[in-house]
Amino acid sequence: MSATKGERTRDRLLERAIERFAIDGFRQTSVSAVARAAGITPGAAYAYFPNKAALFAAAVDADTAALVAEATTPLRDLGPRDRLLGLVLGLIGGLDRHPLARRVLAGQEPEVIGRLLELPALAALRAENTNVLALGQRAGLVRADVDPAVLALGLETVVLALLMAQLQVSDRDEGLEAARRAAVITVLDAAVAPPR
């Protein structure tokens, strides 16, 4: 089924909002500028989003959802441990292609940093990871002594902290940065690995 004209307009508005908010930030971006970039009038933009805050929230949600989808799609057929470890690398590798998600994670929008924990894409990813971990536990591939929902939440927290640290206090030494990334993967692997 093809998208309606209204759906295409809303999508174009969101694409331009992601671009504008990523470049200029929430405070410096106007709905009028986003609407002009999308080829519509500012009044028409308000038919889709009641105010700038709603447009910004939708743009952050959309860019984050795209980042998560890009990171998880190639991992669908992997086992639970490989999938979770691949997720970390996929999210780090995708940040440059998702500028608004990158901006928020980098702390450049401090007013909304707390909203990161409420993003629909993260809630869906956490639920999916909980299921993957539970299946892994039943198959003996993931440690079974921790509730899978608790494990998924803890892993999400560690990954968010890693992404934020990667962007906010990134090492200038590429070798040290690679070593830190490898160390985090080792720790995450140890967190999910069944006892030997």
Low-confidence ranges of the chain (pLDDT < 50): none
The 10s digit of each residue's pLDDT in 140-173 is 999 999 999 999 999 888 888 888 887 877 656 6
The residues near 141 (Cβ < 8 Å, ≥ 6 apart) are 79, 80, 81, 194
Contact 192, 124 (CB under 8 A): no
Rounded to an integer, what distance in angstroms lies between the CA atom of residue 109 and that of residue 105? 8
Q: What is the model's pLDDT at position 171?
A: 57
Four-CA torsion 120, 122, 125, 131, nearest 10 degrees = -90
Report yes or no: 20 and 29 within 8 Å, Cβ to Cβ: yes
Q: What are the CA-CA distances from residue 35 to residues 26, 44, 121, 170 (Å)?
A: 15, 8, 25, 35
The class level of CATH for 54-192 reads mainly alpha
pLDDT of residue 176: 76
pLDDT at residue 170 in the model: 61
* Domain residue limits, the chain: 54-192
pLDDT of residue 172: 66
Its pTM surpasses 0.95: no
